[in-house]
Amino acid sequence: MIALLSIISLSFTGIYLVFVVYLIKGWFSIKTITPVNKVPFNTRVTILVAARNEAESIHLTIGDILAQDYPKHLLEVIIVDDHSTDDTAAIIASFADQGITLLKLNEDQPLNSYKKKAITEAIQLSTGELMVATDADCRMNSKWISTIVSYYETEKPVLISSPVTFFQEKSVFELMQTLEFSYLIGIGAAFIGNGRASTCNGANMAYRKDVFNEVGGFKGIDQLASGDDELLLQKVAVRYPGRIGFIKQTDAIVYTHAKPNLKEFMQQRKRWASKFTVYKDKKIVIIGLIFWLFNVSMLLNFLLGLFFIDILKLFAVQFLLKYLFEALFLIPVTSFFRRSYLVSLLVITIPVHVVYLAYMGLIGSNKKYQWKGREVR
């Protein structure tokens, strides 16, 4: 029995390690973009923001957008208020004389995908060639848009995934989230570096308006509240293989916040997990399943190892290999974000990650979760 368990566990471990090597290769396959020079730009850009109950911070996001060094005559900003119950709409409206357009959703019938509706309405109103989406609680530096457009005009992608990270952490728990989030952003970038598309983050992505319309926008994926980012990415990747880009340049980074407590963290992760089973690329689903089985095997081996010393040794081998290979991947990724010290948290993050991933896989069929004060699926 122990021999069979060892064979199964080591098989999952081996496959996972090959996957991490694949990620490392993909990350280093993405060329680092040189800082943007002052050159004439030709692309009209529309910044899209969906906002719901963001009165506390949306003025900061708008301030960063207004501070962009991109030519003002080539830039428009559309912020959609998604039925906010606070002063979000009034705050957005107060910036109207500075070129901020407020669009208010007014659906009478309940929807399950308000954010996709908000983005779709904004795109229909837009006049830009390149849509750049971000969230209403994000921060960015003044070269954000010019960096994206410089890459767009040089490389000619149809969709661009750009880096996102957490900042202003207030606890070890939030720092651990930043490390894990760096891993997730790194995965999405690495797949693109390997010529495939898996994940991206809607807080910092861009795509051509005509391509959005060509693939039918969110049609076919609008049954889920989430998925305005990676599910759209996968639709575009099917139509335009090899035309997806990732910007490896620090000026393109968008900053947001980790979740302050376990409850909000789990709701966020349930939202992310709800998209997984509808991925177009079933090879990614299979990889994700093996990834989950590997973590389940680690958890089971630890629990059984409390009674059988040989299985505990097996767990120790898995833990050590997971630590070493993930560190090899995370060191360059966190260095890109100038947060390489976060890798020191890996030794305590791995046990938590194993438990939480095993749990999320088990509850994956229950797709209801709380998001922006609503229960959605």
Q: If you average pLDDT over every residue of the chain, what do you get?
A: 91
Q: Is the pLDDT of residue 38 over 80?
A: no
The token pair at 41 is: 């730009």
Phi, psi of 53 (to 5 degrees): 55, 55
Cβ contacts of 228 within 8 Å, gap of 6 or more: 113, 115, 116, 119, 133, 202, 218
Q: pLDDT (tens digit, 9 = 90+) per residue, 240-264? A: 999 999 999 999 999 999 999 998 9
Strand partners, 76: 46
pLDDT for residue 364: 59
Q: Are the C-beta atoms of residues 161 and 245 closer than 8 Å to each other?
A: yes
The token pair at 311 is: 């299985």
- Dump the DSSP string for 168-186: S--SHHHHHHHHHHHHHHH
Sheet with 100-104, strands from edge to edge, namely 100-104, 75-81, 45-51, 130-135, 205-208, 159-161, 244-246
Residues in the chain: 377
pLDDT for residue 270: 80
Q: pLDDT (tens digit, 9 = 90+) per residue, 60-85? A: 999 999 999 999 999 999 999 999 99
SS3 129: coil
Q: Are the C-beta atoms of residues 37 and 69 closer than 8 Å to each other?
A: no
Cβ contacts of 216 within 8 Å, gap of 6 or more: 235
Task: Give the fold, CATH level 3, of 35-278.
Answer: Spore Coat Polysaccharide Biosynthesis Protein SpsA; Chain A (3.90.550)
pTM above 0.85, yes or no: yes
Q: Which residue has the higher pLDDT, 224 or 316?
A: 316
The token pair at 297 is: 């095997």
- Dump the DSSP string for 10-76: HHHHHHHHHHHHHHHHHHHHSPBPPPPP-------EEEEEEESS-TTTHHHHHHHHHT--S-GGGEE
Lowest-pLDDT choice from 39-43, 60-64, 163-167, 345-349: 39-43
Q: Are the C-beta atoms of residues 227 and 221 closer than 8 Å to each other?
A: yes
The token pair at 330 is: 């995370």
Type of residue found at 32: T
Q: Is the pLDDT of residue 373 over 70?
A: no
Give the integer Cα–Cα distance in Å for 128 and 54: 25
CA distances from 368 to 269, 371, 376 (A): 12, 10, 5
Q: Are the C-beta atoms of residues 126 and 209 closer than 8 Å to each other?
A: yes
Q: Is the pLDDT of residue 369 over 80?
A: no
pLDDT for residue 276: 65
Average pLDDT over residues 228-232: 91
Strand partners, 78: 48, 101
* pLDDT bucket at 365, cuts 50 / 70 / 90: low
Q: pLDDT (tens digit, 9 = 90+) per residue, 108-159? A: 666 667 899 999 999 999 999 999 999 999 999 999 999 999 999 999 999 9
pLDDT for residue 377: 57
* pLDDT bucket at 367, cuts 50 / 70 / 90: low
CA pseudo-torsion sign 60, 339, 145, 126: negative
- Residue 104: its H or E element: strand 100-104
Q: Which residue has the higher pLDDT, 361 or 296?
A: 296
Q: Is the pLDDT of residue 30 over 90?
A: yes
The token pair at 95 is: 């910036």
C-alpha 228 chain-centroid distance: 11
Average pLDDT over residues 1-29: 92
Domain boundaries, the chain: 2-27+281-366, 35-278
Give the integer Cα–Cα distance in Å for 341 and 195: 30
The token pair at 264 is: 């909000």
